[in-house]
Amino acid sequence: MPNNKAVSGVSRRKLLKSAAMIAGAAAIPEVIYAPAILAAEPITLRYLSTATNQAPAIAEQAFKDTGIKIEYVTVTTDDVTKRIVTQPDSFDLVDTEYFSLRNLVPSGNLKGMDAKKVKLFDKITTVITKGEVNGKKIGDQGTSPHKVLYLEGEHSKKFAKSPTEWLTLIPTTYNADTLGIRPDLIGRPITSWAELVNPQFKGKASIINIPSIGIMDAAMVTEALGIHKYGDKGNMTKAEIDLTIANLIKYKKAGQFRALWTDFNQSVNLMASGETEIQSMWSPAVTAVRLKGIPCVFQPLKEGARGWASGFALPRTLTGKKLDAAYEFVNWFLSGWAGAYLNRQGYYSAVLETAKTHMEPYEWAYWMEGKAATQDIHGPDGGLLEKKGTVRDGGSYETRMAAVACWNSIMDENEYMVKKWNEFVAA
Amino acid sequence: MGTAAHRSIWWLASPLAAVLLLFFAVPLVLIGVVSFWSYTGYSITPAFELRNYAGIFDGCRVGGAGPCVVLSTYLSTLFFCVVVWAITLVLGFCIAYFLVFEVRSSRMRIGLGILCTIPFWTSNVIRMISWIPLLGRNGMVNLALMQLHLINHPLEWLLYSRFAVAVAMVHINTVFMIVPLINSMARISPSLIEAARDAGASWWQTLRNIIIPLCRGGIAIGSIFVITVVMGDYITVGLMGGEQIASVGKTIQTQIDALQFPIAAASAVLLLAFVMLMILALIRIVDIREEL
């Protein structure tokens, strides 16, 4: 039972990891008594986001550098949105996705971020600010961040068409998602999204069951099959939604999907246990499978990838010292340490040049330039990620981000789409 | 004096009544009210529209092609309800019978009773994940069957199927049937059974004519537990069915996640009405108050 062995080995490692985390947490109070910090009267910021964007190490380092205490509030992607809309007083700082902004900005519960107070604003990657990488335009379908980056005013409920002083989100992380595969089980090259519904993988494929993201993966498949060319995959017409869902239902009824997944851990379990061989996946989930010693590749595909980006926003009610502290934290976040940490996780950071100064040249070459590792690559927690000589899947920053074909989004026909998605699940 | 006693009874009941009113009745009424409101992606506004209810039944026409989504979802949920209810009833009855009538020492009885609660010693999520190494493609059951040369290829339907959902649901819900049945059986006077035996009744006749009729209350209460849990359980259906099997609860969750609170409220009202009807039907067959 090779798989079972691997699984039990992991839980041991996980246990060690959580023990280390507890030890780390226990170490924090010692810092509190440092005199410099006492004088600064530490301010606590409640930081709302999903688990993927939170790391105790970042909070610890931020406290050392700025004296600001970060208290993480961990919820799922959909719950971040729900919290902002229904309980805007329950956090001081939120890290949310650009695609959610269509629902968040009109609620009026967030305030614009002042570009003048963000020191490194001019250095923020053009992927976010212009939808370009090294001067080249990248895929613009869906909610490309630059389309929703500016507000008409601090308390405006409308996006501005041209740059203003007021920003919706200051980017934290972004990446390009694609399919995860088990190369050891598949044993041949995979180059197209169409492979997700290839009968060869009947009963061994999976697609994400978060409607707004799953429909995009489905659209990539439909387009790759040559069934339909979408005007905008991120904003389909009713007819296009019907067609996409009908196609999904056809494959579901034929038994193509082993399961659907909603939760990060489910996707890891499906892949690690060999229940699936090809599926929608997120980059840290691929890393999680690999850390178990099981081969898993985040496969670049010829039709491109589905981009996503998240960033900081402030609740409308934030004022005074907390507001100043929030800007200070955002500035610290962009100043390099956190960026390097995120880059080592396989995400991309908002300001590349500051992150570079906090990374070793060989690390930068591996993670960002797509070069073979000249030394073993370690994760941010010090664990061994890749052996010397490995090349990152998808290549360099430029190659990976230029491959984005569409961005996560909320469509005009969102309500209709959710209803049709439920039909797919029920079929 | 009679009126004073009456009054104090009311006072004693008032804390519970207040808690129920505040945390049960009021939210329930609110859900009902919101189910008529209108909404956008980021706001809900008071209104009186039937749009949410109409939306649920969209596509349900007589003579339409196949059952509509809401109908097939309810049929699927109802299927699990019937299967799980039938299995837990038989299983629960046998276990309760064994514990009450066959086990002599009360310490043994308590010990075995505690064993029945083992499924609750771990969290729901961990329990679900643990099924993968057991029932999965490379799981223990498949490996054992293959090593015994009973099958050549792993059985796919062991996991992420209706079978898997039913297994997990029976696993969790049997104890809800056992407890009320033990309660009913323990109160059957041994002299009744002795009398039956003295009168020449066989084991089967005693069971049919004495024990089962006297367990009606326990059966009804256990059934209510199992039916209400199964009707609302979308987590088991999701995790064990690989999220490919519809359940009413999952539909509601998807709607809430998409911030469509009013339509989710309408779905919840419908589910509540449906479950209430099922329980009303059950109570009509067995008068629980009389049995207690």
Q: What is the pLDDT of residues B10-35, one digit of tens each?
A: 888 889 999 999 999 999 999 999 99
For B67, name the nearest residue in chain A, comparing CA atoms only. A427
Q: Which residues of B touch A415 (CB under 8 A)?
A: 41, 258, 260
- Tell me, yes or no, whether B21 lies in a domain: no
Q: Which domain does B189 fall in, by range?
A: 26-291
Contacts of A208 (CB under 8 A, 6+ apart): A214, A217, A260, A261, A262, A267, A280
Token code pair at residue A355: 């992150």
A207, β-bridge pairs: A260
Domains of chain A (ranges; CATH) run 23-175+307-359 (3.40.190.10), 179-303+396-426 (3.40.190.10)
**Residue B291: its pLDDT value, please?**
60
Closest Cβ opposite residue A418 in set B43, B133, B254: B254
Evaluate whether A303 touches A219 at the Cβ level (below 8 Å): no
Of B68, B73, B123, B67, nearest in space to B237 by CA: B73
Length of chain B: 292
Predicted confidence (pLDDT) at residue A206 exceeds the cutoff of 80: yes
The residue-averaged pLDDT of A62-90 equals 91
Contacts of B79 (CB under 8 A, 6+ apart): B162
Q: Using the beta-carbon criterion (under 8 Å), do A415 and B250 form an inter-chain contact?
A: no
CA distance A106 to A128: 21
Q: Tell me, what DSSP letter sits at residue A64?
A: H
Q: Using the beta-carbon criterion (under 8 Å), do B160 and A274 form an inter-chain contact?
A: no
Closest Cβ opposite residue B254 in set A82, A257, A422: A422
Token code pair at residue A131: 């939808």
H helices present in A33-136, as ranges: 35-39, 56-66, 77-86, 101-104, 126-129
Best residue in B137, B153, B236, B245 for a mutation probing chain A (most A CBs within 10 Å): B137
Q: Using the beta-carbon criterion (under 8 Å), do B159 and A275 form an inter-chain contact?
A: yes
Q: Is A233 on the interface with B (CB under 8 A)?
A: no
Q: At residue A190, what are phi and psi to the nearest 5 degrees?
A: -115, 125
For B72, name the nearest residue in chain A, comparing CA atoms only. A426
Token code pair at residue A113: 């971020």
Q: At residue A265, what are phi and psi to the nearest 5 degrees?
A: -65, -35
Q: Determine the distance in angstroms separating the CA of A247 from the nearest CA of chain B, rounded to an integer.
A: 15
Confidence band for B65, pLDDT divided at 50, 70 and 90: low
Predicted confidence (pLDDT) at residue B70 exceeds the cutoff of 50: yes
Contacts of B4 (CB under 8 A, 6+ apart): none
Predicted confidence (pLDDT) at residue A404 exceeds the cutoff of 90: yes
Q: Using the beta-carbon criterion (under 8 Å), do B243 and A209 form an inter-chain contact?
A: yes
Q: Using the beta-carbon criterion (under 8 Å), do B156 and A203 form an inter-chain contact?
A: yes
- Tell me, yes or no, whether B2 lies in a domain: no
Q: Determine the distance in angstroms separating the CA of A207 from the nearest CA of chain B, rounded to an integer.
A: 10
**Residue A14: its pLDDT value, please?**
47
**Residue B207: its pLDDT value, please?**
92
Predicted confidence (pLDDT) at residue A360 exceeds the cutoff of 80: yes
Q: Using the beta-carbon criterion (under 8 Å), do A425 and B242 form an inter-chain contact?
A: no
Q: Determine the distance in angstroms separating the CA of A7 from the nearest CA of chain B, rounded to an integer.
A: 9
Q: Using the beta-carbon criterion (under 8 Å), do A103 and B129 form an inter-chain contact?
A: no
CA distance A43 to A92: 11
Query: How far lies A50's CA from each of A172, A173, A207, in Å?
Result: 13, 12, 20
Residues 270-299 of A with CB under 8 A from B: 273-275
Summarised one tens digit per residue, pLDDT across range B220-232 is 999 999 999 999 9
What pairing do the DSSP bridges indicate for beta strands A404-407 and A305-315?
parallel
Predicted confidence (pLDDT) at residue A346 exceeds the cutoff of 90: no
Predicted confidence (pLDDT) at residue A29 exceeds the cutoff of 90: no
**Domain containing residue B154: CATH number:** 1.10.3720.10
Which amino acid is it at A211?
P
Q: Using the beta-carbon criterion (under 8 Å), do B259 and A85 form an inter-chain contact?
A: yes
**ipTM of predicted assembly, 2 dp:** 0.79
From A64-73, A398-407, B64-73, the region with the lowest mean pLDDT? B64-73
- Tell me, yes or no, whether B8 lies in a domain: no
The residue-averaged pLDDT of A406-418 equals 91
Q: Which residues of B touch A82 (CB under 8 A)?
A: 256-257, 259
The residue-averaged pLDDT of A180-202 equals 95
Q: Is A122 on the interface with B (CB under 8 A)?
A: no
Q: Using the beta-carbon criterion (under 8 Å), do A81 and B138 form an inter-chain contact?
A: no
Summarised one tens digit per residue, pLDDT across range B155-200 is 989 999 999 999 999 999 999 999 999 999 999 988 998 999 899 9
**Residue B4: its pLDDT value, please?**
66
Q: Is A329 on the interface with B (CB under 8 A)?
A: no
Closest Cβ opposite residue B43 in set A107, A209, A210: A107
- Tell me, yes or no, whether B226 lies in a domain: yes
Q: Using the beta-carbon criterion (under 8 Å), do B42 and A85 form an inter-chain contact?
A: yes
Q: Is A410 on the interface with B (CB under 8 A)?
A: yes
For B74, name the nearest residue in chain A, comparing CA atoms only. A426
Mean confidence (pLDDT) of chain A? 88
Summarised one tens digit per residue, pLDDT across range A275-331 is 999 999 988 788 889 888 899 999 999 999 999 999 999 999 999 999 999 999 999
Summarised one tens digit per residue, pLDDT across range A100-124 is 998 899 999 999 999 999 999 999 9
Q: How many domains does chain B have?
A: 1
Predicted confidence (pLDDT) at residue A18 exceeds the cutoff of 80: no
